[in-house]
Amino acid sequence: MCGIIGYLGDDEALSVVTAGLANLEYRGYDSAGVALGDTELTVYKRAGEVDALTEILPESTSHTRGIGHTRWSTHGPPTDANAHPHTDEAGRVAVVHNGIIENYEQLRERLSDRTFTSETDTEVIPHLIAAELDAGKSPKEAVKAAAAQLEGSYAIVVTIAGVDSLFAIREGSPLIIGHAENGTFLGSDVTAFLDHTQQVTYLADGDLAVIDRDGLSVYRNGELVDVAVEELDWEADAAEKGGYDHYMRKEIHEQPRALRQTISGRLDTDRGRVALDIDLPTEYLESLEEIQLVACGTSYYASVYAADLFESLADVRTTVEVASEYEFSTNRDPWRTLVVAVTQSGETADTLSAIRTAARAGARTLAVTNTLGSTITREVDDTVFIRAGPEIGVAATKTFASQVATLALLVVLVGRKRGALSSERATSVLDSLRGLPGAVQQILDREDTVLETAETYADSDAFFFIGRRLGRAVSLEGALKLKEISYDHAEGFPAGELKHGPLALVTENTPVLAVLTDGARPEATLPNVREVQARDAPVIGAVSDTEASALDVTFPVPDLGVMEPLVTNVYWQLFAYHVANLKGRSIDKPRNLAKSVTVE
């Protein structure tokens, strides 16, 4: 997820901007750059990490105005030319941009008399601004006129040679102003400038902000408006909702983008290989006897999903351990045991305790996490980042999907190095991963149907989620989401367990949500569906084959191989969200729960 930092003030801009870029690294990126300016603009940018950028930066400059950016590639690969900031051909206008310009191809055609040097959608913006300046508009009006021609979502920060101001405009992508004694800041989120101030202003969609030596001016619908300056509450206001009523729903809808970030640059589908930048020697993996996945809550259920993949595709015994119960048994060989901690925050106390136990026993350790610089990354031998971007809602959504996808990449790496996974089978798995973002979007596009279903069943006595194999993990996670935010009783379990007790609770007021997709043994689950139907329970089924069974509600799932049950989970997330919303629950802050559980 791209990051923006801007600064105009009394201090040297270079050090402020580069520090801001470092603060934004957790968001995930594959290139970075800065533009510094007074009477002329100087741009430095490079593919790779911020460290690579700093190699080409001067030690100091006299500039007190600058902008910076960390980019995740969308239009064009991560190259120096595609990195932000982008400029017009005269180098007079420099722009950093988050979001997608959907009509950039048409705009490039309209600007065909100008020279483009990148493959990005962003580069049309400085050319548009330059054209408006050439037409005689003032800098503020030129930025406004250029933005009016854009379609899509964006947050844009602009610096212009010889103009001692910064200009910013947003539409559907967060942009925050920071106010400090030493100057004024812009950021895609507050982490960019939190070292300097906790006084912030949140721009609304369509706002045009002008920062100069006198501070901030905001124009809304062409009129200068007064905007609030708020004292930052980091826990509550870490990011904007982007027009959604709740962070949770926003993050459910961010899953296609999060999954693209998770797999970006990691897939080699032609050869059936992945690149994860971790040190797991082939000799070590060939001698491996067991993988232990340790986790809590949603991360635990992601691990349950992955364990099936490790055993079936990588041919290695895999256990899933609740982190709070973890012990390293003396009958295990630590030299032949890989312990993988799965944690969104990297700060979960129980998981940290478990990984320390494994390390003391002499086992090799690896973390799968979302958070750069978190405690767990400093304590394990290797780390794989899921790169889902910040997640504010307490109930994990996009991080579950990205954890499963990341663990699936690890499965392919281990399976290939162990010689247990053929290139053809690996390619099939990677194709499924590559298709995940689009498949999830198809589910999100059917949200109205899920809402109708939630309206029908929201007042039910209880909810049961069933599935087999990969569907079991999704059933457990689906029930967890519903109980977390709706406070209703929801239970998930293997479908075959229905007749071993839970069937006694089934009535016409207990909907059963069934995973009936490939990878979840639908043919074996259908008899369980008939069992509950015989007790008048309504059945909501996520199915690969819409003719599979006569269900009360059918949610179609795209053909995606081993990832089909994971796609099903998006239906369950939306169902949980809408049930909770219909009940008026505190969705982003469910009672008694915290985002990062840092106590044991």
Q: Which residues are catalytic?
A: 2, 595
SS3 (DSSP) at 11: coil
Residue 13, amino acid? A
Instruction: Answer yes or no: are the C-beta atoms of 388 and 42 closer than 8 Å.
Output: no
SS3 (DSSP) at 223: strand
Token pair listed for 37: 């300016």
What spatial distance separates the first Cα and last Cα of the chain, rounded to whole Å?
31
Strand intervals (E) in 351-397:
364-369, 382-385
Q: Indicate the DSSP class of residue 347.
A: -
Mind giving me the DSSP string for 59-127?
A: S--S--EEEEEEE--SSS-S-TTTSSPEE-TTS-EEEEEEEEETTHHHHHHHTTTS---SS-STTHHHH
d(CA 155, CA 4) in angstroms, rounded, equals 9
Mind giving me the DSSP string for 385-407?
A: E-------SSS--HHHHHHHHHH
Please compute Rg for the chain using Cα positions. Answer: 25
Instruction: Answer yes or no: are the C-beta atoms of 83 and 45 closer than 8 Å.
Output: yes
d(CA 37, CA 96) in angstroms, rounded, equals 14
Question: Shortest CA distance to 418 belongs to which of 533, 280, 553, 302?
Answer: 280
SS3 (DSSP) at 461: coil
Distance of CA 170 to the CA centre of its chain: 20
d(CA 375, CA 367) in angstroms, rounded, equals 10
Token pair listed for 523: 């043919």
Strand partners, 35: 43, 67
CA quadruple 74, 79, 80, 83: dihedral, nearest 10: 10
Question: Shortest CA distance to 99 belongs to which of 175, 8, 48, 32?
Answer: 175
Sign of the dihedral defined by the CA atoms of residues 450, 173, 101, 432, in that order: negative
Strands 290-295 vs 337-343: parallel, antiparallel or unpaired:
parallel
Structure-token match 């501070």, residue found: 215
